[in-house]
Amino acid sequence: MPRYVNVALGQLGPIQRQHSRTQVVARLCALMREAHAVGAQLIVYPELALTTFFPRWYMQDEDEIDSFFEREMPSAATLPLFELAHKLGVGFYLGYAELAQEQGNKVRYNSSILVDRSGTIIAKYRKVHLPGHREHEPWRRFQHLEKRYFTPGRRFDVTPAFGGVVGMALCNDRRWAETYRVMGLQGVEMVLIGYNTPVHNAPAPQHDDLSLFHNQLAMQAGAYQNGCWVVGVAKAGVEEGVDSIGGSCIIAPSGELVARCLSKDDEMALARSDLDFCAVYQKTTFNFDLHRRPEAYAMIVQRKGLTLAADGTPWATAE
């Protein structure tokens, strides 16, 4: 039995601060209907897809911060999306800000969920790589305070779903080889990634002209090196004065782009993804069992960054 997943990109244009959850959910539902009309079984939405990208603002008021978070999923505002998923038989990936309760304490995560074709949540992911900074940095044109507002997640899990093995990541995660490899080692066949990427990178403005290139480069490398499909979806366009990249795309295990959004608005695009195509890479060039040499990679988990040895160099001396 061939294993195909008709997967759709559910790219969003900007969400301004005054837009309500109800308005945004109506846009998500419209994209799901479009995707269903062309045969989608799964639609992937961006990171923090229910509100504007609020980490661009320094806020101290707890209630103001919490206003961007979801206490429950589904909620009254998001339920119509789950009901539509059930009615149409279209599963979805959705990024949102999660307000969790842990041992009586409030914990904030940048999260995503995977919902199956019956409208049931089957997996949750909490963003591991939180970019940006913790304190107010007024020299920036806009802030990127993910380190302030979110607690990092701790795991990259995979889920049997849509006839294959599905993994999730969020935005900055897509730039890290470890993200894909940890899921690759669990046999992942399709990695779903929502993102919000401002064109302007304050600490490195020389990257600005390359932001779309880096987006594609990282995801194509992740797909090829792990023999899996990668589906990356943007919230794009000018949001509260900040321009973010589009470039949502579906990448095959060969590393080739098979579908891409053209606009920076709400846009749907679809690809018929053959999950068995993963084996063409996972059983040959990237047959981990045959070719990996974990004994040579110990430093990957022993070190976080450049650690200086006793002689002041970061490199290990050969025995």
Closest separation in Å from C-beta 144 to ligand CDV:
5
- Give the binding-site size for ligand CDV (rule: CB under 6 A): 11
Distance from C-alpha of 215 to C-alpha of 266, rounded to nearest angstrom = 19
Candidate list 51, 159, 172, 282; residue touching ligand CDV; CB under 6 A: 172
Q: Does 163 bind ligand CDV (CB under 6 A)?
A: no
Which residue, 95 or 184, has its beta carbon nearer to ligand CDV?
Answer: 95
| Piece of the chain touching ligand CDV by CB under 6 A; list 181-189, 195-203, 298-306, 311-319 | 195-203
Helix, strand or coil, per DSSP, at residue 239: strand
From 170-178, 233-241, 257-265, 296-304, span contacting ligand CDV (CB under 6 A): 170-178
Site string for ligand CDV, 96-115 (x = CB under 6 A): --------------------
- So which residues are the catalytic ones? 47, 127, 171
> Which of 5, 114, 128, 171 is close enough to bind ligand CDV by CB under 6 A?
171
Q: Which of 277, 71, 111, 256 is nearest to 192 (CA)?
A: 111
The set of residues, in sequence order, having a beta carbon less than 8 Å from that of 208 and lying 6+ positions away, is 199, 200, 201
Tell me the C-alpha distance between 85 and 209, whole Å: 38
Q: Using CB under 6 A, which of 175, 181, 235, 264 touches ligand CDV?
A: 175
Q: What CA dihedral angle connects 160, 161, 162 and 165, to 10 degrees?
A: -40
Is residue 132 near ligand CDV by the rule CB under 6 A?
yes
- Rule CB under 6 A: say whether 150 interacts with ligand CDV: no
Which strand ranges, in their side-by-side order, compose the sheet holding 91-102? 121-126, 105-115, 91-102, 42-44, 4-11, 267-274
User: Is the Cβ–Cβ distance between 98 and 127 less than 8 Å?
Assistant: no
Give the footprint of ligand CDV on this chain (CB under 6 A).
47, 131-132, 144, 171-172, 175, 195-197, 201
